[in-house]
Structures are given as structure tokens and as C-alpha cells.
Amino acid sequence: MAAVSGTDATPSRTLAGTDATPSGTFAKADAVALALDTLPGPAVCTTGYTARLGAARGEDRVLPLVGSMGLALPVGIGIAATTGRTTLVLDGDGSLLMNPADPLELGSRPDLPLVHVVLDDGAYASTGAQPVPSQRVDVPALARAAGVTDARRVEGADALRAALLEAAQARRPVVLHCPVTSDSGPPAPRVDTPLPTLARRFTMEAFERGEPRER
């Protein structure tokens, strides 16, 4: 895997999973469910199948994005900065590479409690599984070059869970690059709740345990 040029030449750290599922066969749906089960605070799910998986849980704290590829991280940054709550962003490789400047904003906020999980299946799953050139990008190196000090690759369920629990205590930006496989079964249903309703419910839930910060 080619590294992205940056000031940190340290190779990406890999946390090998200890679960029975070998690296490379960790399904995206399982990764989404594990992340949302592990971190109980506000969560943003990138557009496409990930948004559908998040919406299917029926939790007001989960904000599924619709028709807004590349915007999961900036939305999450705004939520974490405003509420002060640890915010989970479930992103995709294609979404991140559509808006690769976003890590620069994340790296400029060293005290922001945000966990950015990049689920990398190498494909634009919801539009026909066209290939994403993510194999040529070292996502943790990209994040570190942008100023995020804690960025790593995690493989498998156990490694992802452990990294999420650690990140929740860190209260700083954390980027986790998680290889997954596209789900073989039928996708979750489309998001059918009106978007203003989703936004209103999420806003009420996001501020329930946190107070707005002055900006």
C-alpha cells in the first residue's frame, strides 16, 4: 500500500483482530453494528448503504446522511464542536476520497472528541460496486499528515472494538481505517423518514446530554 506523503513517515500501525473472522472478511454491516453498539453518543453515517444500516436501528442519536457524499466528517466535526460530546463518524473510503481536505479541519482541532471510522470495502457499493482507488491511499498516513496524531489501521471485530473503547476515553480526534467486505445480502431499506424529521430528532437527542459550546 502506497503511503501518502506527509511529515510523519512512520508506517501505519496495524492492530490484528483476535476474533475468529480473518482480516478481509469483516462485513460492513457487522462493523457498523459493532461501532454503534460500542459508542453510545451521537453518530453520523455516510450516505448510501451505511446510512441505511444506521437508520434501520431507529435511534434518534444516529444521523443518516442522504444524498450528501463526502460530508460525513464535516457534519461530525460540527456536532462534536457544538455539543462537546464524543461523536462517531462512520465514513466510507469513497466518501472520504471525494472530500479529502476534511482531515485538515479535523487535524486543526486537537481537543475535538471525534472518532472517524473509515470503512474500506474498495467499492462504491450503493451505485453498482464501482471500484474505489483506496488501495493506493494510506488513510492513516493521510490523517497524520493533516495533523491527526492518533490514526491507525484496525482489522477485525476485536481490534475495532478495542480501538473504539480507547478512543472514547481519549477525547481527541481518532481516525480508524477498517478494511471490510461489502455485504452479500440485500441492503437495508432506504431511509424513508422525512429528512427534517430526522434532523429535528437528532438535534434534540444530541443536545440532551451536552451543552452547546461558544464558538
HEC letters along 98-118: HCCCHHHHHHCCCCCCEEEEE
pLDDT given at position 127: 55
CA distance 134 to 122: 6
List the domain range (segments joined by +) for residue 81: 19-182+193-206
What CATH number does the domain containing 57 carry?
A: 3.40.50.970
Q: Is residue 105 part of a domain?
A: yes
* Cell numbers that stand for 165 in this block: 473503547
7 occurs within a structural domain: no
Supply the pLDDT for residue 137: 79
Query: H or E element: which one contains 76?
Result: helix 72-83
**CA–CA separation, 195 and 63 (whole Å):** 10
CA dihedral 59, 61, 64, 68 (to 10 degrees): 170
Counts of helices then strands in the chain (DSSP H, E) = 8, 9
Q: Enumerate the H helices of the chain as residue ranges.
A: 28-38, 49-55, 72-83, 93-98, 102-107, 139-145, 157-170, 195-206
Give domain status of residue 161, yes or no. Answer: yes
Backbone angles phi, psi at 206, to 5 degrees: -65, -30
This prediction has a pTM of 0.82
Measure the CA–CA gap between 68 and 121, rounded to whole angstroms: 19
Q: Which residues of the chain have pLDDT under 70?
A: 1-24, 122-134, 183-187, 208-215
146 occurs within a structural domain = yes
How many domains are contained in the chain?
1
- Looking at residue 44, what is its pLDDT? 97
Within a domain: residue 187? Answer: no
pLDDT for the residue 20: 33
Do the domain assignments include residue 153? yes
Backbone angles phi, psi at 203, to 5 degrees: -60, -45
Is residue 113 a part of any domain in this protein? Answer: yes
d(CA 132, CA 182): 13
Give Rg (Cα) of the chain: 16
In sequence order, what are the residues at sequence separation of 6 or more whose Cβ sits closer than 8 angstroms to the Cβ of residue 81?
Answer: 109, 112, 213, 215
The confidence score (pLDDT) of residue 212 equals 44
- The per-residue pLDDT for range 149-158, each reduced to its tens digit, is 999 999 999 9
Count CB neighbours of 110 within 10 A. Answer: 11
Is 122 among the domain residues?
A: yes
